[in-house]
Amino acid sequence: MSFLFYNLDIIGPLSILVYLLFRKPKIEGAFLWFVLFAAALLVSNISALLVQVIPTYFGKKPGMNLFVYHIGCTAYAVILSKFFSMVLKSKSYILDVFFLVPFLILSVLNIVYLNRTFTIYGVTSIWVVVKCLTYYAQKFQEPPKEDLVSSWLFWAISGLFLYFSVAFFTFITYDFFTIGVIKGIMPRSVAAFWNVQNVILAVSCLFYIKAIGCKE
């Protein structure tokens, strides 16, 4: 049971792709980028795990997976940028610029110093949440043309909103806790705080599975 709990960040995205193979919906347009996001989640989380597990298997010190997480966040931003450009009527170029500038600055700092990695996840979360809210605003401002609960896009957006809005608080505090553990200021048990993000991700994956189920 503990193995499943600590690996929810892999089991969740994997279940999405397995269900996708089972349903075999037509993958095109915005749905393609949604699928790519799910695949990026799986690849990023597996890679981050392997960076630590493989050296341990050979009796060496676990590797630093911060750079892997940074690459994963960059992939999410690129993929979701394309996804939102296809589903939103308002392109929100100003918002994208305000997001891109700190994103690039933090990217440089992350690559040079390999720290504060999850601050970039916090910035990305704000951007994604605003994009999701823009989608909701557009839907509720226009006359209803479809049953939202039967729309794959509604469930996909809702999954993104849930994950990035709630996990935001984990992202912006995780670096602080990690540094505290490394310096011996905080007990190692606070590292388990990351599991909160895993649970949130697993729940959001249920929304993504629902989205695939609604896709014709």
- At 45-88, the pLDDT tens digits run 898 888 877 766 666 665 567 778 888 888 999 999 999 999 99
Question: Which residues, including other chains, have CB under 8 Å from residue 111's CB and lie 6 or more apart?
Answer: 67, 70
Residue 216: per-residue pLDDT: 72
Every domain of the chain and the residues it spans: 2-214
Using alpha carbons, select from 129, 70, 72 the residue that is nearest to residue 99. Answer: 129
Number of helices (H), then strands (E), belonging to the chain: the values are 8, 0
At CA 157, angle to CA 74 and CA 120, rounded to 5? 25
pLDDT over 90, % of the chain? 40
What is the mean predicted confidence (pLDDT) over 175-197? 63
The length of the chain is 216
Q: What are φ and ψ of residue 61, in 5° steps?
A: -70, 135
DSSP E strands: which ranges in the chain?
none
